Amino acid sequence: MKKIKNVIKKSDKKKLTIYLVLRALVIFCMIRELFLGNIMNALLCVLSLILFLIPMFVEKTFKVDLPNTLEIIIMLFIFSAEILGEINSFYLKIENFDTILHTLNGFLCAGVGLSLVDLLNNKVESFNLSPVFIVIVAFCFSMTVGVFWEFFEYGMDKYMGVDMQKDTYVSKIKTVELDENKSNDVITIDNITETIIVDKELNVTQISGYLDIGLHDTMDDLKVNFVGAAIFSAFGYVYLKTKEKFKFIKNFVIVKK
């Protein structure tokens, strides 16, 4: 009870309500997945519950204040990515769902990057950085997070047998691998209508077009991460320069207590 009271004291009603509702939905989803025998999905629910605690952990450990808006968006992002996207297949059912999340991720991570640089910049009086440098570092921080996330997706696909880097059907490929002379000439195969896949047990699978295994998905994710990071960096620069314009940026900037 004491811990719950402390949470209530530090949080406004809106943030606390959203946190409790999302937590209840995740617990309900976890129970459902356990009844259905989907252990991996149940573990994703457990992971989501742990991730919900990150904002409070960061505030307590590093003695900083996360804006309520940022905390709410982080919780909604986690719920959307894990519960809606992975467990309920929104990535496949809703067009551009993955694109929206990766764009938002780029935006939020740039905010975190700007916060880190600004906090370090304000910690030492003799160490002063220009707004341009701060937003460049914030942008690079966001892109680095995006790249490491793609590393994580690749690792999960390769070693855990999942499919986080979604595949894409293409009708045209260019490759030097099919060059019999090994002269590095590009071989183009266009208007591919079907591909026949035969495994070692001679099972045959026929698909429409050629199946790209994740490259297009990865590059699309990085492109929209770039867009999100660039948008925040542009607004962040003006905010740091003037401290007056685009004050909404303060809703995404972590500050010291």
pLDDT tens digits, residue range 122-176? 555 545 678 899 999 999 999 999 999 999 999 988 998 878 888 889 999 999 9
**The two structure tokens encoding residue 257:** 């207590």
In this structure, are 115 and 143 located in the same domain? yes
In this structure, are 4 and 46 located in the same domain? yes
In this structure, are 146 and 44 located in the same domain? no
In this structure, are 119 and 145 located in the same domain? yes
In this structure, are 198 and 226 located in the same domain? no
> What is the sign, positive or negative, of the torsion defined by CA atoms of 76, 77, 78, 80?
positive
Range of the domain at 207: 169-212
In this structure, are 231 and 205 located in the same domain? no
In this structure, are 9 and 107 located in the same domain? no
In this structure, are 163 and 174 located in the same domain? no
**The two structure tokens encoding residue 246:** 């685009």
The percent of residues in the chain predicted with pLDDT above 90, rounded, is: 63
In this structure, are 20 and 56 located in the same domain? yes
Q: Considering the entire predicted model, what is its pTM?
A: 0.83
In this structure, are 75 and 199 located in the same domain? no
Predicted pLDDT of residue 1: 44
In this structure, are 228 and 143 located in the same domain? yes
Helix (H) or strand (E) holding 65: strand 64-65
Report the alpha-carbon distance of residue 39 to residue 28 in Å, rounded.
14
Count up the domains in the chain and report the number: 3
The domain boundary residue, chosen from 74, 94, 114: 94
The domain boundary residue, chosen from 67, 94, 121: 94
In this structure, are 161 and 141 located in the same domain? yes
SS3 204: strand
